[in-house]
Structure 1
Amino acid sequence: MESGSGDDLDFSDSQERKSKRYHRHTARQIQQLEALFKECPHPDERQRMQLSRDLNLEPRQIKFWFQNRRTQMKMQHERSDNCALRMENDKIRCENIAIREALRNVICPSCGGPPVDQDGFVDEQKLRMENAQLKEELDRISSITAKYIGRPISRLPSIQPIAASSLNLSMASYDAPDFNGPSLDLDLLPGSSSAVPPLPFPFTGISDIGKSLMMQVAANAMDEFVKLAQTDEPLWIKSDTSEGTRDVLQLESYQRLFPKANVPMKSSLSTRIEASRDSGLLITNTLALVDMFMDANKWAELFPTIVSEARIIEVLSSGMMGSRSGSLQLMYDVLQVLSPLVATREFYFLRYCQQIEQGLWAIVDVSFDLSQETQLIPPSNFHKRPSGCLIQDMPNGYCKITWVEHVEVEENTSIHWLYRDLIQNGLAFSADRWIAVLRRMCERFACLMVTGTSSPELGGVIPSAEGKRSMMKLAQRMVNNFCASIKPSSDFRWTTLSGGLDEVGVRVSFHKSTDLGQPGGLVLTAATSIWLPLSPQLLFNFFKDDKTRSEWDVLSSGSSVQEVFRITNGSHPDNCISVLRQAHNSNRNNMLVLQESCIDSSGFLIVYATVDLIDINVAMNGEDSSCIALVPCGFTIIPDGRRRSSQGSGASSSATSQGGGSLLTVALQIQVSSLPSSKLNSESVTTVNNLINSTVQQIKAALNCSTGN
């Protein structure tokens, strides 16, 4: 309530006001009250009486409405002033950094040497204090680790570079805030403890001038992104695709609203814009989701089918007052489509997180040219314009997310004809695909909190909460290894084998693994992608059906399988983790098949691996499953992105009319040798080539698609 207006305070009616029930004004009453408020925020008694007669309201109600409206207006002005002051503060901070950088390069006019550093003693003291704190932290971590491994940890013989985030996992589980309502089970994600992929270039740090420029770029990108996320027509228009309706950016409206963003990355006929927007509800806590987005490893774990690699190059700002608001990071990302026929996309970008208001957070990504910092980065063909997500708290532990993807693409290589429609129509990395995968992953972690998600009617043992957690970790690691085996990178260089599968061929690669939980020695991977005139749902049902597994699984030797038990990990019943065994094969009773199936609006995924019965019991008992070696195989199924008419005959016609064709990727892995020193031979390549050719031919024959590719 404001002060300074005598007619605004009426304490004599306070007791009577408490007994009155809340009255909601009609739209006509509010319209007339707003009209008078614009002309006269402080109406006198005569004006209030006139409004009371016109609107059939008591004078006291009129007075209170104007009083509350003035308070609301005052709060809006204060909020606007705070935003302006915050922007001015950021601007002054950037200028301060630039001035300090300039002062360091000043030359003394008398001697021609560098100026005397007045803060040398202070900086040295700060470094000594930080060094002492780091030593205390190292001692504490060493004592905690010693409890788990059963022996003391000796000091390192020499100081070696350690990733800044490599010691954060044990801290996160103790210091994580206790959120109300369902939230992601953060322990299922390895986060900062997992292996960090090396950067494709040596990086020595960013200058203060570069940091100042990055802060300015991030602030401008945040302003543009918030407008993109909250503005509808004519900026965004509805567009019909093969998978439904989605928001597509209207470029003319965008150029009028953001004239400074009209300069393209490259002026070429092959340059195109991919821009889309989507929104949805997630069963997770907003703050937990923000923290995971700002952790590069957890970010990659949330999107295993999209994000191939993720790395924080440098943290420019860690946030204000212990929160993520104001956090700014320079990141490196590699995005992929799960097929050896599609090249990956590399981005060097800034990720800026800011709390817009209570319960509303924004995270924006924008590409940044690092050529001024290092000359070793090749020119990128992908430029991320302000993109990201707007996350808003909702009741009952949910949050609403609005996702914007805005990328400028310079195609310098030809796209394989199988994936041309999917990629050129912007469907491969559209906003709806990101939200679909994120929603499925949030449901996966939330299901861990629900008891009774196993299937007792299958006759198997229902795992405990610890057993379910261990099984989910094991299955997630299997899916991650499978996705990593398909990506083209420095570790997986594909070699195309001619013949067998038309002009697509089979792509073969190999790698040597010594990591924990990986099969030691030499692992050979073979993958191929084909087109089938069937809807993704029908194709997924074929692979998921235990009765038809013997028609495509060359490892089953024609024997049928049965499901031992199942752990449901999503709202869709086909989102589950299963353990299968061969029904009539006494020679392999100790070998089971661990399988996870994933389904969402962006596509389907089935990953499986043979696991020893002893290892399954280890995971079922809730013990650590990180030592169990897995060699996963599987299938990815995505829509082809083309629009089709329901023409044709037989099963193909029925399937096509239900959803168009599908792009199927088949990937098989075999352990050639358990010795790290072993080398690849032609016999192993021939074996895996025959395996994948046989698998594809059996799939086509079983689905009556022998002529489809």
Structure 2
Amino acid sequence: MDFGAGGDDFSGGDHRDDSDRRKKRYHRHTAYQIQRLEGTFKECPHPDEKTRTQLSRELGLAPSQIKFWFQNRRTQMKAQYERSDNCVLRSENDKIRCVNVTIREALKNVICPSCGGPPVSEDPYLDEQKLRMENIQLKDELDRVSTVAAKYIGRPISQLPPVQPFHVSSLDLSMSSYGGPGMAGPSLDLDLLPGSSTGSLQKLLFPKMSISDMDKSLMADVAGNAMDELIRLLQTNEPLWMKSADGREVLNLESYERIFPRPNTHLKNPNIRIEASRDSGVVIMNGLALVDMLMDTSKWMELFPTIVSRAITIDVISPGMLGSQIGTLQLMYEELQVLSPLVPTRQIYFLRFCQQIEQGAWVIVDVSYDLPHQEKQFASSSKAHRLPSGCLIQDMPNGYSKVTWVENWEIEDRAPIHRLYRDLIHSGLAFGAERWLSTLQRICERFACLMVTGNSTRDIGGVIPSPEGKRSMMKLAQRMVNNFCASINPSNGEQWTTVSGSNEFEVRAALHKSTDPGQPNAVVLSAATTIWLPISAQHIFNFFRDERTRPQWDVLSNQNPVQEIAHIANGAHPGNCISVLRALHNNQNMLILQECCIDSSGSLVVYGPVDFQSINIVMSGADPSCIELLPSGFAISPDGRPNDQLQARGSDHGASTSLNTNIGDGSSGSLITIVFQILVSSLTSAKMSQESVTTVTNLISSTVHQIKAAMNYITS
């Protein structure tokens, strides 16, 4: 008989005694079997069921033996890496200890070059404490560099050639990331999220989970099956995909369920619906750099600040092969948002798996993975389950990439969706593939603009910004946009409270304590509202970004004219730009930093007050992380109605439309979320006072009425 993974066999009758029963002849694999298994393991340490079945037939082993062999081999490799790393770390620790001893001995015999005598020594206790602190810092640096080396280079730190100290940035992209082979240039050290507390946040909200080998094996199987399904979704056209009325690619559910049968929960539960879409386009970044960014949690958030409000890697189930992301499997958590307090975030635990399917082509798949405690944690108005989704990244000869994106969601609505966003969400546009891809294209264009050495079209006080100044200004503006998006759906648990409401709009407010560098160290009151206008999103965006029309809606400018005194383009679309504005006849020392960005899914106009001296410091190329910003602004999107692109209102078609039109009358338009932030107090115990609520409510109310008045004037 043949038993289990080890292939143990024994024979004999019942007359054998107990000692004979304990004697087993273990089956050992032949040299050919081991060689064949090792060869497959080097190519793919997590073979799918098809590969295991093929090996079983070739080698004459049971499928369970193949499965257990690979599990044991992965465990063995992990143990070897850990032993090697421990040896290296102990060796480096001994070296550091010897260096510290040598330094202390040298300090005893040092001679002052001025007087020839011993130097004036500090307190010995302080000297020892300083050495201890330096020793701790060196150990931390060693641990960090060793981890980077083991994960991305595939060798211990001791095997690397000596190099000069370097700084690992959150977005460390070289010139070759955008060009072809052989190109070199300065690093795009875009540290767009300084002072991120992701590590401490993960420990607080997501304590270390104990994931068994059996769980990891199950996760690998789930990810492998999801990868197979996604590849078919990416590479198959009709009848799996069909064109919607507005020209988008949407999933044919009948064909999908026939090819990938699963429980038809959306047929049994009328509150469950499917959102599935596909889109493709060209991205200004090479494939390998894009894969690395998508597999890194911090860079993932920086690529999609308007969609991803929080993302954390819970655990790395399987590291990549040979210093790359190929074969990497991660358990992650994220919250996805629409930029409005009226729409709750989508919260999911999911597996992310990367695989190279051919030379210059990679597939990254995301699939929901249920954890025992998530039902209690996700007290939301909707339950989101991500079916196999992700992207295919294909290198192009010019250093660009072709990206095909698939989003496939199963949503259970546990509460009614707000009437303003019902069409946008039900149409699949709110979290669809088009929004992900257009955002990715715009952000990658922004990164590429840093490669352009041209100066801004306008200067400040005769000071033309250098390339370093342009770079610093873009970093400051990006931090402002990220803070603006984070204020709409804060990741630290604050809840919105409705502070005023009417038939036209309702104002919601939330208090939060600013702790991130570059934000005022105080309690901040954020207030927001969303309104609907029967005007095209493009027209509204043009209205807000034009400095000539700013006095018509900016109540803080006191209707004074505004002049643009600096301009930096950060994308191919003329609306993607960073501006420095000055309100005439007002405080000349206070300027306005503004970033405008637009893509096919929507647009942003974000601004914040900055003093003249700070802008000059940034324009000189200095680090902008110390400059405090408190951004406000607008998030604009189509309302999701099918005729939105055909029935744009306003001067686009010269139509006359009343802005009091009800959203239920069948006309299309745009959704505008208005956000203001004001300082409340420097005391952490400050509460939401009636005075602060009244101030911010009046501010939003006046802004809404001025916008509607200006739009009525334009469209009449």
Name the TM tier (shorter chain). Answer: 0.7 to 0.9
* Residue 264 of structure 1, CA deviation: 3.8
1:429 to 418, 428, 431: 431
* Maintained 8 Å contact 1:201/1:376: no
1:671 equivalenced with 2:679 (yes/no): yes
Deviates more, 1:378-387 or 1:187-196: 187-196
2:542 matched residue in structure 1:
541
Count residues with an aligned counterpart: 594
Amino acid at match of 1:246: R
* Residue 253 of structure 1, CA deviation: 1.1
Amino acid at match of 1:484: A
Identity %: 55
2:403 matched residue in structure 1:
401
1:621 matched residue in structure 2:
620
1:566 matched residue in structure 2:
567
* Residue 491 of structure 1, CA deviation: 3.4
Amino acid at match of 1:431: A
Residue aligned with 2:318, SS:
strand
* Residue 655 of structure 1, CA deviation: 6.3
1:225 to 202, 226, 230: 230
- Structure 1 segment 306-345 matched on structure 2, within 5 A: 306-345=307-346
2:286 matched residue in structure 1:
285
Partner Cα separation in structure 1 for residue 147 and residue 476 of structure 2: 22
2:176 matched residue in structure 1:
179
- Going from structure 1 to structure 2, the CA distance change for 1:217 and 1:448 (only over 3 Å counts) comes to same
Residue aligned with 2:712, SS:
coil
Residue aligned with 1:369, SS:
coil
Partner Cα separation in structure 2 for residue 175 and residue 683 of structure 1: 45
Residue aligned with 1:437, SS:
helix
2:693 matched residue in structure 1:
685
Amino acid at match of 2:607: Y
* Maintained 8 Å contact 2:550/2:562: yes
CA-atom RMSD, angstroms?
Answer: 4.0
2:122 matched residue in structure 1:
none
1:517 matched residue in structure 2:
518
* Maintained 8 Å contact 1:522/1:676: yes
Partner Cα separation in structure 1 for residue 95 and residue 215 of structure 2: 31
* Residue 246 of structure 1, CA deviation: 1.1
* Residue 417 of structure 1, CA deviation: 0.2
- Structure 1 segment 417-456 matched on structure 2, within 5 A: 417-452=419-454, 454-456=456-458
Unmatched runs of 5 consecutive residues or more in structure 1: 1-77, 105-117, 143-150
Amino acid at match of 1:662: S
* Maintained 8 Å contact 2:651/2:714: no
1:362 matched residue in structure 2:
363
* Maintained 8 Å contact 1:190/1:298: no
Unmatched runs of 5 consecutive residues or more in structure 2: 1-38, 56-62, 101-129, 149-165, 181-185, 658-666
1:698 matched residue in structure 2:
706
* Residue 132 of structure 1, CA deviation: 2.5
1:29 matched residue in structure 2:
none
* Residue 128 of structure 1, CA deviation: 4.1
1:275 equivalenced with 2:276 (yes/no): yes
Structure 1 residues 60-116: Cα deviation after superposition (integer angstroms, max 9, x where no partner)? xxxxxxxxxxxxxxxxxx99xx89995436987753476799xx9xxxxxxxxxxxx
- Going from structure 1 to structure 2, the CA distance change for 1:669 and 1:655 (only over 3 Å counts) comes to farther
* Maintained 8 Å contact 2:547/2:562: yes
- Going from structure 1 to structure 2, the CA distance change for 1:654 and 1:202 (only over 3 Å counts) comes to farther
Structure 1 residues 579-627: Cα deviation after superposition (integer angstroms, max 9, x where no partner)? 0001222xx1111000000011000100000001111111111111101
- Going from structure 1 to structure 2, the CA distance change for 1:607 and 1:378 (only over 3 Å counts) comes to closer
Partner Cα separation in structure 2 for residue 154 and residue 354 of structure 1: 41
1:416 matched residue in structure 2:
418
* Maintained 8 Å contact 1:447/1:453: no
- Going from structure 1 to structure 2, the CA distance change for 1:700 and 1:212 (only over 3 Å counts) comes to same
2:216 matched residue in structure 1:
211
- Going from structure 1 to structure 2, the CA distance change for 1:122 and 1:583 (only over 3 Å counts) comes to closer
Partner Cα separation in structure 1 for residue 168 and residue 492 of structure 2: 33
- Going from structure 1 to structure 2, the CA distance change for 1:174 and 1:375 (only over 3 Å counts) comes to closer
1:170 equivalenced with 2:167 (yes/no): yes
* Maintained 8 Å contact 2:341/2:489: yes
* Residue 683 of structure 1, CA deviation: 0.8
Amino acid at match of 1:204: M
Partner Cα separation in structure 1 for residue 94 and residue 425 of structure 2: 52
1:349 matched residue in structure 2:
350
Residue aligned with 2:574, SS:
coil
Residue aligned with 1:342, SS:
coil
Superposition TM-score, scaled by structure 1 size:
0.76
Deviates more, 1:490-499 or 1:622-631: 490-499
Residue aligned with 1:314, SS:
strand
Partner Cα separation in structure 1 for residue 95 and residue 541 of structure 2: 50
* Residue 514 of structure 1, CA deviation: 2.9
2:632 matched residue in structure 1:
633
- Going from structure 1 to structure 2, the CA distance change for 1:655 and 1:515 (only over 3 Å counts) comes to farther
1:502 equivalenced with 2:503 (yes/no): yes
- Structure 1 segment 586-597 matched on structure 2, within 5 A: 588-597=587-596
* Maintained 8 Å contact 2:638/2:670: yes
* Residue 249 of structure 1, CA deviation: 0.6
* Maintained 8 Å contact 2:248/2:277: yes
Residue aligned with 2:596, SS:
strand
Partner Cα separation in structure 2 for residue 572 and residue 246 of structure 1: 22
* Maintained 8 Å contact 1:192/1:298: no
Structure 1 residues 248-306: Cα deviation after superposition (integer angstroms, max 9, x where no partner)? 111111122222x4454894111010000000001111111111101111101111110
- Going from structure 1 to structure 2, the CA distance change for 1:174 and 1:569 (only over 3 Å counts) comes to closer
Residue aligned with 1:669, SS:
strand
- Going from structure 1 to structure 2, the CA distance change for 1:649 and 1:236 (only over 3 Å counts) comes to closer
* Residue 571 of structure 1, CA deviation: 0.2
Residue aligned with 1:179, SS:
helix
Partner Cα separation in structure 2 for residue 138 and residue 417 of structure 1: 64
Partner Cα separation in structure 1 for residue 146 and residue 422 of structure 2: 40
2:68 matched residue in structure 1:
95
Amino acid at match of 1:217: V
Partner Cα separation in structure 2 for residue 204 and residue 266 of structure 1: 35
Amino acid at match of 2:513: K
* Residue 660 of structure 1, CA deviation: 3.5
1:486 matched residue in structure 2:
488
2:670 matched residue in structure 1:
662
- Going from structure 1 to structure 2, the CA distance change for 1:578 and 1:156 (only over 3 Å counts) comes to same
- Going from structure 1 to structure 2, the CA distance change for 1:123 and 1:570 (only over 3 Å counts) comes to closer
* Residue 350 of structure 1, CA deviation: 0.4
* Maintained 8 Å contact 1:644/1:656: no
1:109 matched residue in structure 2:
none
* Residue 464 of structure 1, CA deviation: 1.2
Structure 1 residues 483-535: Cα deviation after superposition (integer angstroms, max 9, x where no partner)? 01111554331110234x42641001111123321101111111000100110
* Residue 673 of structure 1, CA deviation: 2.2
Residue aligned with 1:631, SS:
coil
Partner Cα separation in structure 2 for residue 94 and residue 694 of structure 1: 67
2:87 to 118, 129, 132: 129
- Going from structure 1 to structure 2, the CA distance change for 1:345 and 1:165 (only over 3 Å counts) comes to farther
- Going from structure 1 to structure 2, the CA distance change for 1:185 and 1:227 (only over 3 Å counts) comes to farther
Amino acid at match of 1:132: R
* Maintained 8 Å contact 1:277/1:405: yes
Amino acid at match of 1:493: Q
* Maintained 8 Å contact 2:241/2:251: yes
2:4 matched residue in structure 1:
none
Superposition TM-score, scaled by structure 2 size:
0.75
- Going from structure 1 to structure 2, the CA distance change for 1:669 and 1:84 (only over 3 Å counts) comes to closer
Structure 1 residues 407-433: Cα deviation after superposition (integer angstroms, max 9, x where no partner)? 100110110000000001111011011
1:250 to 239, 249, 252: 252
* Residue 125 of structure 1, CA deviation: 5.4
* Residue 210 of structure 1, CA deviation: 0.4
* Maintained 8 Å contact 2:309/2:491: no
- Going from structure 1 to structure 2, the CA distance change for 1:129 and 1:163 (only over 3 Å counts) comes to closer
* Residue 335 of structure 1, CA deviation: 0.2
